[in-house]
């Protein structure tokens, strides 16, 4: 058997690289658009934004696209760690090429149990849009999610009751403004309600027909296949991920933190779902900035977390593109 020292300077074999990219492709993305591409160097893996998969009506600023790519980058690091490879990431390595988001160097490393468990969470994680149980979340669980975000350089905030009201208002404001935009309605219809043979988008089997849970409004995907009888069911805990700045690097790191928080929640059997809608509309995003984060940070992501209801069956996975379609 080859030791880790003997592998120094080596590069993973093709099977390992493809397996890692396949797991990276399981990352959450806006409307499951999967807006990333990979290029393989002799000793590095490179992440690029795929602008052909940008959703201009939903994501006019390209914020969701960069956050989605950041989530894929974190998934890639988790996958390689489980396969015995430590990653060193150079973010935005080429100012002349802004779509070149990261260059990832690899070195042999002994995987830990935590590394393997995190990679297993990639396969179990779902964007669970269903209602959650009303069981409170222990403070130590919230602290673990906060730590996961912090390790990516991002601050997780649990809103106060008053701030939560402002966050709920921002969700409703964004929904109302987007509903008035026919381009948004067309785009949402194109990217949701898809059948089982699709390779991207939000399939019918993963979208809920409910319009809100208690006071929290939901994005109105087309042809939703999950009917919820109890419309007063709990929305769970809403947390906000924020950064000090709002440049491309901050948005990329926010995506990495989103991945870290979702995988940490999945690892302890919590249900979770990223919510980008309140931050896709400038007026709603400013409301979150001022009334939820006190103007101290830039909001980058809202995450809904909670305990799954006892009656909730396991959700099917959403479709993903083959690895070959993501590699240049």
User: For 206-222, what is each residue's pLDDT tens digit?
Assistant: 999 888 888 999 999 98
> How much is the pLDDT for 2?
41
Whether pLDDT at 254 is above 90: yes
Nearest to 261 by CA among 180, 109, 149: 149
CB 25 within 8 A of CB 123: no
For the record, the structure tokens of 231 come out as 């419309």
The residue assigned the tokens 């959403």 is: 318
What is the structure's pLDDT at 1?
36
Residues 181 and 57 in one domain: no
- Work out the pLDDT band at 8, boundaries 50, 70, 90: low
Taking only the tens place, the pLDDT of each residue in 280-294 is: 999 999 999 999 999
Residue 156 lies in a domain: yes
Same domain, 117 and 153: no
> Same structural domain for residues 184 and 96?
no
Q: Across the chain, what does the average pLDDT equal?
A: 94
Provide mean pLDDT across the span 111-129: 97
Is residue 93 within 8 A of residue 100, CB to CB? The reply is: yes
Last residue of a domain, one of 125, 156, 182: 125
More confident of the two residues 150 and 223: 150
- Diameter over CA atoms, the chain: 62
Give the dihedral sign, CA 204/210/212/217.
positive
- Euclidean distance between CA atoms 157 and 149, whole angstroms: 10
The torsion angles phi and psi of 254, rounded to 5 degrees, stand at -65, -35
Q: Which of 193, 174, 194 is nearest to 184 (CA)?
A: 174
Is 145 in the same domain as 103? no
Total tally of structural domains belonging to the chain: 2
In a 10 Å sphere around its CB, with 0-12 CB exposed, 13-18 middle and 19+ buried, how is residue 310 labelled? exposed
Residue 279, in any domain of the structure: yes
Q: How confident is the model at residue 98 (pLDDT cuts 50, 70, 90)?
A: very high
Do 104 and 187 have their domain in common? no
**Gap between the Cα atoms of 172 and 19, Å rounded:** 40
* Phi, psi angles (nearest 5°) of residue 155: -100, 130
> C-alpha distances in angstroms, 170 versus 162, 321, 325, 328?
13, 33, 37, 39
Same domain, 285 and 143: yes
Q: Which of 99, 98, 73 is nearest to 88 (CA)?
A: 73
**For residue 39, is it within any domain?**
yes
285 and 243 housed in the same domain: yes
pLDDT for 323 equals 97
Q: Residue 232 — pLDDT band, cuts 50, 70, 90?
A: low
Judge if 281 and 249 occupy the same domain. yes
Tens digit of each residue's pLDDT (9 = 90 or more) over 44-75? 999 999 999 999 999 999 999 999 999 999 99
Domain that holds residue 77: 14-125
Which CATH number fits the domain that encloses residue 68? 3.40.109.10
pLDDT at 3: 44
Domain contains 320: no
Whole-number Å distance between alpha carbons of 118 and 242: 23
Shared domain check, 162 and 43 = no
Q: Is the pLDDT of residue 40 over 90?
A: yes
Chain centroid to Cα 53, Å, comes to 16
Q: Is the same domain home to 34 and 108?
A: yes
Residues 181 and 258 occupy one common structural domain:
yes
């Amino acid at each position: 058997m080859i030791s880790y020292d003997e592998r120094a300077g080596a590069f993973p074999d093709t099977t390992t690289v493809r397996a890692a990219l396949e797991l990276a492709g399981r990352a959450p993305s806006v409307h499951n658009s999967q807006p990333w591409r990979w290029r393989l160097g002799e000793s590095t893996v490179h992440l690029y934004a795929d602008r052909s998969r940008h959703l201009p009506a939903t994501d006019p600023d390209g914020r969701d696209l960069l956050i989605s790519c950041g989530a894929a980058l974190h998934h890639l690091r988790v996958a390689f760690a489980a396969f015995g490879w430590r990653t060193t990431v150079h973010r935005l390595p080429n100012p002349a090429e802004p779509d070149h988001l990261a260059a990832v160097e690899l070195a042999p490393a002994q995987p830990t149990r935590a590394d393997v468990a995190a990679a297993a969470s990639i396969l179990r994680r779902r964007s669970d849009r269903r209602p959650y149980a009303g069981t409170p979340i222990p403070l130590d669980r919230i602290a673990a999610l906060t730590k996961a975000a912090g390790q990516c350089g991002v601050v997780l905030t649990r809103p106060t009751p008053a701030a939560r009201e402002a966050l709920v208002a921002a969700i409703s404001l964004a929904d109302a403004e987007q509903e008035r935009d026919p381009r948004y309605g067309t785009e949402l219809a194109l990217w949701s309600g898809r059948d089982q043979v699709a390779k991207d988008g939000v399939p019918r089997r993963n979208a809920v027909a409910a319009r809100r849970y208690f006071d929290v409004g939901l994005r109105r995907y087309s042809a939703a296949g999950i009917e919820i009888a109890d419309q007063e069911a709990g929305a769970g805990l809403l947390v906000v991920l924020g950064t000090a700045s709002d440049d491309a690097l901050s948005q990329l790191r926010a995506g990495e933190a989103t991945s870290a928080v979702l995988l940490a929640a999945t690892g302890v059997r919590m249900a979770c779902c990223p919510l980008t809608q309140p931050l896709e509309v400038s007026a709603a995003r400013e409301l979150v900035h001022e009334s939820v984060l006190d103007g101290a940070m830039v909001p980058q992501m809202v995450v809904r977390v909670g305990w799954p209801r006892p009656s909730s069956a396991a959700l099917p996975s959403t479709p993903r593109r083959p690895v070959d379609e993501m590699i240049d």
